[in-house]
Amino acid sequence: MLFNSLTFVVFFAVVVLVHNLPLPWRVKKLNLLVASYLFYAAWNPPFVVLLWISTVLDWYVARAVYSEQRLSRRRLLLAISVVGNLGLLGFFKYGDFLLHNWAGLMALLGVQYVPPAWDIVLPVGISFYTFQTMAYSLDAYLRRAPPASSFLDYALFVTFFPQLVAGPIVRPADLVPQFAEPKRTPANQFLWGLGLMTLGLFEKTVIADGALSPAADAVYGAKDTPAAVDAWLGTLAFSGQIFSDFAGYSTTAIGCSLCLGFSLTDNFRFPYGAIGFSDFWRRWHISLSTWLRDYLYVPLGGNRKGNRRTYVNLMTTMLLGGLWHGANWTFVVWGGLHGLYLAVERWLRERFTHLKLPPRAGFRLGAALLTYLLVNIAWVFFRAEDMTSAWRLLRSMFGLHPEVKAVLPTVYIIEVVTVIAAMWIIHWTMRDRRVEDLVAKTPWWVVGTVWAAMVFLIIITQDEGHAFIYFQF
Amino acid sequence: MPSSTSSSDAVPDARAIPLLPWKRVGLLALVLALAGAVLWEWNARRLGYTPSYADTAGLWAIERRKVDLLGDPIVAVGASRTFFDLDLAVWQELTGRPLLQLSIVGTSPRRFLTDLADEPKFHGLVIVGVEPDLFVREGGFRAHFLDDARKETPSEWLGQQLAMPLERRLAFLNKDDLPLFALLRHMKLRNRKDANDPYLEVWNLNNIYEHRQSYMWERIERDRWLLQHATMAWADGMDETPIVPDSLVDAMIKANKRDVAKIQARGGDVVYVRWPSTDKYLSFENRTVPRERVWDPLLRETGAIGIHFEDHPSLQGYDLPEWSHLAAAETPRFTRALVPLLQQALCAQHSPWAYRIGAPAGTCNVPEGAP
């Protein structure tokens, strides 16, 4: 079920109505759990079974691993969780990729191997909920957090519909305790939650789908090589599209949770205003980057095993982070590029610790723009269908392709330039602020008018119910 | 990578809620948004738009599912002419049987004919609209409708059911002209050479009603500027289009031969209909997809019946405001002229479908219930 659909409007209205009936807290949680399963089943009912498998597996593993004292047994139990979850993910998401790469490798060795057809539907949200349940078992193994005492609370943590299919990837310690005590939603919180939902849907339907995706699709789907201007504008359009699409989802999820009385973590903090890549990854898909930090980078040794090992750990984490996004080498290259950016930044910081970035706005602005430029170069790999298309577009961006054609009509160019410029200015000016702070300082009638304008624009944009980009991950 | 061994930034038990009088904020937002929507609806009607179903895969899927329920239905597949030029109520009145409208604008019907041919339980009658330049090719604007219908999720089905009552009542839900970004892209701006010009895309031409009955939009028929735009959109690229290559024609005939044979073997039948076109569109079609290279071999190789508007005076002389589709008032009249011709043609082929679509008893040499 998409947030940007009439089905969700009706679904959410019913859930809110039922949640606000005078029922015992336990019954309310059960209702939310059933609603969450319905939410997921609305895509494809049989795939709820996979959700159950992941839920039940980690419930039992976490309880066992937390109380188990013998290291070998604890490791075995953890392996069951990791293999089980990654096995699910691997089968549905990477099976075809692995088969085709194996066939390619065999071909290089002169062995003819034709892989069988692998026509398996990718269950929506599998990358998110498997990571969430693995985090539950990992926290129990690392004794960072005890397992939940209530299966209902734990099951609701796994399936909580606002964040089930595209995050934020919530930590057990952040959400499970919220289910323990009854929650009332004051009117102010409910309305603020609705406001955030409106903002999220505005980002998705008006900005991502309406204003930016046509230009990005036109450039990345062009049969002929786009001209340099088109290549850059198409990529900038994609940078705005993927941010607005994904941040829109997260904002809607946060608002939806608030309406039900729960708090989710921020997932984006104006990432295009970042200065450098450490800063970027503290602002972009925060729940994933912190998950990778805490469950991959740090267990690998982090920065505690010497310089060389630190760079290896960094690159490994970013390469796997790229692969998490999809079964294609382009995602691996995207992750690898970000790993390279982080590594170079770290090296420069170590070599030139005595040189700090001058506090003058001009230097900081220049550094932020450079960061944004490099982020866009990486986006080329993220968006392109394959490596050939990615290289073709990159060569065009730098004027290195001999035969190019104009692709974008003038109206798309105006839309992209206007929206991206506005977006970047907002990210830059808001980089140290929160939306809540800005809204608190704004006159109430301005907030009401802006809210109305967003609702009106959502209605008249008439989104055709395009899926969120991160659903494919 | 941010270096920290701690878990993610802790979520405060309650997120900060900006201190504002939220009830007043919410009420103002609701009133203004509603006022905006009402004004937008008023403006849409002022501009001549009326409520119409959106042409979605979900709406198409509703009709397609009826094929599976009925077994031997009468189905129309084609592009926009087949969509606009058939009056379903007149058809039912003259034949005694409903017609399922599966035509899709800007889309070749071939894949949809193959879908029916490959459906083991289907043994109905297929009216295949031949819009020549689309028919020789595969794919098209909304070829994805078939896959979308097959993969329709419960959520999408419900969304379609929820949307239809709104679409029956609200004119501003027109998806061709009135979405915000469609309006922006309807501006006439100078473009670079080779760049696509969205101004030249086809704008709203039709309205859609129950059972996917479609008629030409009333305003197009009388608005000179919209008519000019429509003909400009059709004419864009016509002069540069070469004659259809033999390879495409051969592939088209081969595919149709297979599909017709499969349907006929199960007791069904296929009739091809070439709808009228006029003026520059007709000249373009005669030049690039000539009758003797496409229509005639199609009928010869498949053995199917074909009704070409140029062969029948009763199918000529209609008003096609933008060269390609019948005016709304002409659709019932055209259907009344077409049905007897279909009955006669099926009779001449000794097909029991002649009686099944209302040919008077005893007019053909085929017993009525013959398989």
Q: Is the pLDDT of residue A465 over 70?
A: no
Nearest CA in chain A to B194: A406
pLDDT tens-digit series, residues B276-321: 999 999 999 999 999 999 999 999 999 999 999 999 999 999 999 9
Q: Strands B269-274 and B305-308, how do they pair?
A: parallel
pLDDT tens-digit series, residues A136-159: 999 999 888 889 999 999 999 999
pLDDT of residue B1: 38
Mean of all residue pLDDT scores within chain B: 92
Assess contact for B70 and B122: CB atoms under 8 A: no
- DSSP line for A344-384: HHHHHHHHTTT-PPPSSHHHHHHHHHHHHHHHHHHHHHHHS
B29 bridge partner residues: none
pLDDT tens-digit series, residues A171-212: 888 999 999 999 889 999 999 999 999 999 999 999 999 999
Helix axes of B224-235 and B279-288: crossing angle, nearest 10 degrees: 10
pLDDT band at A119 (very low <50, low <70, confident <90, very high): low
B214 bridge partner residues: B208
pLDDT band at A266 (very low <50, low <70, confident <90, very high): very high
**DSSP 8-state assignment for residue B121:** T
pTM (2 decimals)?
0.92
**Interface test mutation site (partner B, options A407, A444, A445, A463, max chain B beta carbons within 10 A):** A444
Chain A: give the shortest CA distance to residue B301, in Å: 35
Q: Which of these, A213, A384, A233, lies nearest to B195 by C-alpha position?
A: A233
Asked if B159 and A7 come within 8 Å (Cβ–Cβ), the reply is yes
Chain A: give the shortest CA distance to residue B20, in Å: 6
pLDDT tens-digit series, residues A397-436: 999 988 899 999 999 999 999 999 999 999 999 999 999 9
B221 compared with B9, residue with greater pLDDT: B221
Give the CA-trace dihedral at A154, A157, A160, A163, to 10 degrees: -160
Residue of B5, B162, B179 with shortest CB distance to A298: B5
pLDDT band at B12 (very low <50, low <70, confident <90, very high): very low
Average pLDDT over every residue of A250-277: 96
Q: Could you report how far apart the first and last alpha carbons of chain B are, in Å?
A: 74
Cβ neighbours of residue B286 closer than 8 Å, sequence gap 6 or more: none
Give the CA-trace dihedral at B287, B289, B291, B297, to 10 degrees: 150
Q: Strands B125-129 and B269-274, how do they pair?
A: parallel
Q: Minimum mean pLDDT among A119-128, B65-74, B171-180, B228-237: which range?
A: A119-128
Distance of alpha carbon B239 from its chain centroid, rounded?
A: 25
CA-to-CA distance for B187 and A319, rounded, in angstroms? 45
Distance of alpha carbon A59 from its chain centroid, rounded?
A: 25
Asked if A411 and B198 come within 8 Å (Cβ–Cβ), the reply is yes
CA-to-CA distance for B129 and A176, rounded, in angstroms? 60
Radius of gyration, alpha carbons of chain B = 25
pLDDT of residue A108: 85
Tokens of B215: 């008629």
Average pLDDT over every residue of B176-194: 93
Nearest CA in chain B to A174: B11
pLDDT of residue B9: 45
CA distances from A236 to A214, A441, B132 (A): 12, 31, 40
Cβ neighbours of residue A466 closer than 8 Å, sequence gap 6 or more: A4, A209, A213
Q: Is the pLDDT of residue B11 over 60?
A: no
Mean of all residue pLDDT scores within chain A: 91
A418, burial (CB in 10 Å: exposed 0-12, middle 13-18, buried 19+): exposed
Residue of A342, A439, A457 with shortest CB distance to B180: A457
CA-to-CA distance for A404 and A399, rounded, in angstroms? 9
Q: Is the pLDDT of residue B3 over 60?
A: no
Chain B: give the shortest CA distance to residue A438, in Å: 9
Asked if A409 and B197 come within 8 Å (Cβ–Cβ), the reply is yes
What single letter denotes the amino acid at residue A153?
Answer: D
Q: Which residue has the tokens 């949307």?
A: B163
Strands across the sheet with B305-308, in order?
Answer: B99-101, B74-77, B125-129, B269-274, B305-308
Q: Is the pLDDT of residue A130 over 90?
A: no
CA distances from B4 to A43, A293, A295, A296, B1 (A): 38, 8, 11, 12, 9
Active-site position among A19, A100, A285, A325: A325
A470, burial (CB in 10 Å: exposed 0-12, middle 13-18, buried 19+): buried
Element (H, E) at B127: strand B125-129
CA-to-CA distance for A314 and A338, rounded, in angstroms? 10
CA-to-CA distance for B350 and B5, rounded, in angstroms? 83
pLDDT band at B368 (very low <50, low <70, confident <90, very high): low
Residues of A in contact with B184 (CB under 8 A): 411, 415
CA A79, A133, A151: angle at the middle one, nearest 5? 110
Average pLDDT over every residue of A17-37: 96
Q: Which of these, B263, B186, B172, B277, lies nearest to B234 by C-alpha position?
A: B277
CA-to-CA distance for A208 and A231, rounded, in angstroms? 18
Asked if A214 and B162 come within 8 Å (Cβ–Cβ), the reply is no
CA-to-CA distance for A391 and A398, rounded, in angstroms? 11
Asked if A452 and B12 come within 8 Å (Cβ–Cβ), the reply is no
pLDDT band at A473 (very low <50, low <70, confident <90, very high): low
Element (H, E) at A184: none
pLDDT of residue B242: 94
**Interface test mutation site (partner A, options B5, B15, B162, B172, max chain A beta carbons within 10 A):** B15
Residues of A in contact with B27 (CB under 8 A): 448
Cβ neighbours of residue B164 closer than 8 Å, sequence gap 6 or more: B53, B59
CA-to-CA distance for A154 and A150, rounded, in angstroms? 6
CA-to-CA distance for A200 and A221, rounded, in angstroms? 27
Residues of B in contact with A202 (CB under 8 A): none
CA-to-CA distance for B358 and A423, rounded, in angstroms? 64
Residues of A in contact with B11 (CB under 8 A): 174-175, 263-265
Q: Is the pLDDT of residue A460 over 80?
A: yes
Chain B: give the shortest CA distance to residue A53, in Å: 22
Chain B: give the shortest CA distance to residue A102, in Å: 30
Q: Does the annotation mark A100 as catalytic?
A: no
Asked if B2 and A293 come within 8 Å (Cβ–Cβ), the reply is yes
**DSSP 8-state assignment for residue B360:** P
Q: Which of these, B233, B213, B220, lies nearest to B321 by C-alpha position?
A: B220
Chain B: give the shortest CA distance to residue A112, in Å: 32
Residues of B in contact with A451 (CB under 8 A): 25-26, 28-29, 33
Rounded to 5 degrees, φ, ψ at A359 are -70, -5
Q: Which of these, B35, B152, B61, lies nearest to B115 by C-alpha position?
A: B61
A463 compared with A269, residue with greater pLDDT: A269
CA distances from B317 to B86, B221, B278, B309 (A): 16, 16, 10, 10
Q: Is the pLDDT of residue B78 over 50?
A: yes
Backbone angle region of A143, left / alpha / beta, with phi > 0 → left and psi within -120 to 50 → alpha: left
Residues of B in contact with A251 (CB under 8 A): none
A300 compared with A121, residue with greater pLDDT: A300
CA-to-CA distance for A389 and A381, rounded, in angstroms? 9
Please state whether the peptide bond connecting residue A168 to the residue before it is cis, i.e. omega within 30 degrees of 0. Answer: yes
- DSSP line for B54-102: ---HHHHHHHHHHHHHHSS-EEEE-SHHHHHS--HHHHHHHHSS-EEE-
Q: Is the pLDDT of residue B225 over 90?
A: yes
The 10 Å Cβ neighbour count of residue A121 is 11
Residues of A in contact with B19 (CB under 8 A): 440
Rounded to 5 degrees, φ, ψ at B77 are -125, 140
Distance of alpha carbon B354 from its chain centroid, rounded?
A: 26
Asked if B18 and A452 come within 8 Å (Cβ–Cβ), the reply is no
Q: Could you report how far apart the first and last alpha carbons of chain A are, in Å?
A: 16
A128 compared with A470, residue with greater pLDDT: A128
